[in-house]
Structure 1
Amino acid sequence: MEDLINKWYKNHSLFYKVLLFLSTTFLIVYLFPKSGKFKYNFDKGKPWQSENLYAPFDFAIKKSFEEIDEEEQDIKDASPIYFDIKTKTKFEVLEMYALNFENKFSDTIPKKRVLYDVGKSAVETLYGYGVLDEDYKYPENKNIILVEDQKLISRTTFDQLTKIDEFRTILEDALIYNDLSSYKTTFVSLFFDIVKSNVSINSSLTDNALQEELNSISTVRGSIEKETLIISKGEIVEGNKYDILKSLETEYESQVWNASNYNLVLFAYALLVALALLMLLLFLRKYRIEVFLDNTKVTFIFFNILLMILLTTLIIKYNSSQVYVIPLCILPLVLKAFFDARLGLFAHVLTVLLLGFIVPNSYEYMFLQIIAGIVTILTVSELYKRANLFISVGQITLIYIIAYFAFFVIHEGNITNLKLETFGLFILCGLATLFVQPLIYIYEKLFGLVSDVSLLELSDTNTKLLKELSNKAPGTFHHSLNVANLAEASANEIGANAMLVRVGALYHDIGKMKSPTYFTENQATGINPHDELSSKESSKIIIDHVIDGIEIAKKNNLPDRVIDFIRTHHGTSMVYYFYMKEKALNENTSEDDFRYPGPKPYSKETAILMMCDSVEAASKSLKEPSSSKIDKFVESIIAKQMDDGQFLNANITFKEIQSIKKVLKTKLANIFHLRIEYPE
């Protein structure tokens, strides 16, 4: 049991990566659509590139969405509207009319009988098919069915129904026709009190009848029998051929796969996703070992890939036509900000390949996104400069638009049906890409990483910690500025991270604030406190500035990448002066008492700082410097560090060290205002 626990403890980092790998694979497969992919690619209006295709099984030809929409519209146009009618309303109105007529008109008026008949006839006309309760907006020829107590009364058209305000026109026309216009005012006012509607729409019956007819629409038209030739090689995919191919593709992705091979398809997806993620891990292990060994960084990379896939699948489920609104270029931007361009592009390409399984027009999508990712990596050189980000986002958006336009012309052969809305999606995608700045800040807090944006902030000499250093240890502060300039120039020469090494140089000696006068650069009075201490005590104070620096850095929440420079800027080198002084008194003096605890530099940047720090500090002891003296001086210091094995863990080459030496010699010559010595 104890052996098992020890084994787990020794390999816990590897076990974590395996667990992360499996869980990420599971989540990505879970997000993927649970169907197979049709193995043939085809475009409308283009030749069929594959071999002759025969029907693998019997299947129905599905109608296109346009055909179904057209049928639905025809049914909606022809479907009748159901109205409820109250037939007894007409008789109630006639009774009220007879009663009110007798009260309004006396027996002495001439043509009383004719006038009564005119009113009665007007009521009959008004209620011929019925009086509407409101003004409905239906075409005049719309079919109408009148029902009462769920029984059909009559069929007619909408123009036969009377609007309630039409009774005045009907009465006035009848009175004029019978030469009774003098009674118009009294007669019309009589009807205002008695006329009422008796027809109202039955929405429930109308909707149910319409839905029943819509449900009867067939989604297929004809069928294809097994072994029937569907399309020959080179034949143009259009018309009925295109509909048949789309039907076969749908049948493959729904019925065939889902019914019989669901688990097999799921397993195949898992294999492909696992293969892609495995390639990423192998890339990290071979080319980015420092990232591979850091589980937080590996988790960060996997998290970002998963996030992009999640956002894309959500958009596809909502509306696949808006898939280009996802700012996928944020992925290489973020990874480049925290790591490097090569890793950012590699992860971006793998993510795009995975998304090719689920997006429509997968080849077009992958081409656009990979090209956009390459442009992102090539154009965004310094993310901490806001202008650079805006310019790069504009270039990315332009590339999207140009590539999409080219694909559209290839597919359609013209630009008449070009949808400007898609260009709007690309612009929205570009604007969303600008969110990378606050996203980087969030990631720094969540994962404890540091980006160039944060490094730029830390490089400001007005920060609280650097101001404290300049006040307590002005000589050390000046030394740190000189080292920062040397290290930045050296990093630029060999293509290392210049911003990172500059920040590391500014903070590498902050531990000297604890006992500033014990370091020669801060001894302004000429009094050396080491004169009163033993060599071991002096050595301990000198060595402890590394440990003190780490404590101060952590207390002030400096990023780990910066603290690494404090840890490694002396490596495991020796405090040689005090060692030799002690050895003169005691031959059995141990070197371990006079060596820094390390570790040795393990990156190009930390190795650069060690070289620049040693050269700058020792250069103060040069008397009557000349070009030849500076050359020998730089060569001897760096050679001593190499002989001591200080750069064995750093991925720096001899060629790069030679380049750094050249920069240091030139810079020191400038510092001492020396002229170049030309050969005679």
Structure 2
Amino acid sequence: VTFIFFNIIFMVMLTTLVVNFDVNYVYVVPLCILPLSLKAFFDARLGMFTHVITVLLLGFIVPNSYEYMFLQIIAGIVTILTISELYKRANLFISVGQITLVYIISYFAFTIIQEGTIDDIKSEVFLTFLLGGLATLFVQPLIYIYEKIFGMVSDMSLLELSDTNSSLLKELSEKAPGTFHHSLNVANLAEAAANEINANAMLVRVGALYHDIGKMENPTYFTENQVSSVNSHDDLAPKESAEIIIDHVIRGIEIARKNNLPDRVIDFIRTHHGTSTVYYFYMKAKEDDDDVDPDDYKYPGPIPFSKETAILMMCDSVEAASKSLKEPTSILIDGFVEKIINKQMEEGQFLNANITFKEIQMIKKILKRKLKNIYHLRIEYPE
């Protein structure tokens, strides 16, 4: 909310200064930076709404306010519709070109409607539109500045973080290769699921790549990194084993903070197990002693609080557990996915996430299809 208000006030003050200096330069103010930067951090709807509110406020300040408001709202609509992936440099240049063209065409049309002739068109106004278009290119460094000041994450930062050649992911691949491979599989599953329900696929992918970085501390205590038949947990009590497993979440948060990962990515590390139980060691402890406190075998949480974090929890559980399938068949995979996700729903893991039953069913379908592709299920032909 502070970020949105700051942007509105900044644009109003900048326009006021320009109007007081010389009203002829009012179109040099790159007002389309507002919907661009808001779309980069939030979504198109909020970007458009904030832009319209700002233009209505500026209507009280600028002369010939109807023409100004009309031009700026049209330009804002074009901005929202044309920019799809801001992290692609070509898209920004194309969008700025379209914005400038819309300003010129709209001004041309307005002058003909009002005056009935093209003789009153001022060529210097076209120059102000071009200058305003060039000033809009400043949105790239501005987004970077906003990220540092307000601690937010744009698609450009997510694209950088998704690079598997980054120092942190390289370290993960060296220290815990099994975990790294698991994270890549989860990232692919989560991205497909996010695309299916119109969630932020780029954010989910990055969250999935980093969600298990805490396993770098004790990699051999996790089955995916065990290369020999020796299990490190054989010499430990079930409670100690559970503590090491649960500890990878806390360790992951510490490593993420040390490496300056954004809070939105750290949220995935915190929530990917929610408040679920380390069931294997809990049952092992119950075999030895019936009086076992289940809270000792539970992850600290919190439970997922967005669509993206809920998707990661589902994909992580399904991918990890799928490794235990001996002879996977289509029916076995269907039942297996249903069982895992239904159990998470029964435990109330998705109560804080804005995800619907319909979306969960869509995610189940995607996971079933993807797992069948991974295991290359084929019909058996007669010999």
Q: Paired residue for 1:673?
A: 376
Is contact 2:111–2:120 with CA below 8 Å preserved after alignment?
A: no
**Alignment match of 1:593 (pick from 296, 308, 313):** 296
Q: Paired residue for 1:538?
A: 241
Report whether the alignment pairs 1:387 with 2:90: yes
C-alpha displacement at 1:675, in angstroms?
A: 3.6
Q: 1:676 to 1:366 in 2, by over 3 A?
A: farther
Q: Paired residue for 1:424?
A: 127
Distance 1:675 1:431 in 2: 56
**Alignment match of 2:100 (pick from 389, 397, 414):** 397
Q: Paired residue for 2:18?
A: 315
The 5 Å alignment of 1:287-306 reads 298-306=1-9
Distance 1:520 1:565 in 2: 21
SS at match of 1:599: coil
Distance 2:5 2:225 in 1: 48
Q: Paired residue for 1:361?
A: 64
Q: Paired residue for 2:148?
A: 445
**Alignment match of 1:510 (pick from 213, 220, 241):** 213
The letter for the 2-side match of 1:398 is: L
CA deviation vs aligned residue, 1:154-183 (integer Å, no higher than 9, x gap): xxxxxxxxxxxxxxxxxxxxxxxxxxxxxx
Report whether the alignment pairs 1:333 with 2:23: no
Q: Paired residue for 1:152?
A: none
Q: 1:396 to 1:675 in 2, by over 3 A?
A: farther
C-alpha displacement at 1:676, in angstroms?
A: 7.7
The letter for the 1-side match of 2:361 is: Q
Identity over aligned residues, as a percent?
A: 78
Is contact 2:220–2:226 with CA below 8 Å preserved after alignment?
A: yes
SS at match of 1:546: helix
Q: 1:675 to 1:328 in 2, by over 3 A?
A: farther
Distance 1:402 1:387 in 2: 23
Report whether the alignment pairs 1:637 with 2:340: yes
The letter for the 1-side match of 2:168 is: L
The letter for the 1-side match of 2:272 is: H
Distance 2:340 2:70 in 1: 52
CA RMSD of aligned residues (A): 1.1
Distance 1:517 1:398 in 2: 60
Q: Paired residue for 1:500?
A: 203
| Runs of 4+ with deviation above 2 angstroms | none
| Structure number with higher strand proportion | 1
CA deviation vs aligned residue, 1:546-585 (integer Å, no higher than 9, x gap): 0000000000000000000000000000101001111111
Distance 1:616 1:392 in 2: 40
Q: Paired residue for 1:56?
A: none
CA deviation vs aligned residue, 1:289-317 (integer Å, no higher than 9, x gap): xxxxxxxxx21111111110111001101
SS at match of 2:349: coil
Is contact 1:627–1:676 with CA below 8 Å preserved after alignment?
A: no
Report whether the alignment pairs 1:662 with 2:365: yes
The 5 Å alignment of 1:50-449 reads 298-449=1-152
C-alpha displacement at 1:417, in angstroms?
A: 2.0
**Alignment match of 1:461 (pick from 128, 151, 164):** 164
CA deviation vs aligned residue, 1:514-570 (integer Å, no higher than 9, x gap): 000000000011211001001000000000000000000000000000000000000
Distance 1:343 1:478 in 2: 37
**Alignment match of 1:489 (pick from 188, 192, 208):** 192
CA deviation vs aligned residue, 1:340-376 (integer Å, no higher than 9, x gap): 1111111111111100101111111111111111111
Is contact 2:213–2:255 with CA below 8 Å preserved after alignment?
A: yes
Paired residues, number = 380
Is contact 1:669–1:675 with CA below 8 Å preserved after alignment?
A: no
C-alpha displacement at 1:339, in angstroms?
A: 1.4
Distance 1:502 1:321 in 2: 47
C-alpha displacement at 1:403, in angstroms?
A: 1.2
Distance 2:288 2:71 in 1: 74
Unaligned runs of at least 5 residues, structure 1: 1-297
Is contact 1:480–1:507 with CA below 8 Å preserved after alignment?
A: yes
Q: Paired residue for 2:273?
A: 570
| Structure number with higher helix proportion | 2
Larger Rg: 1
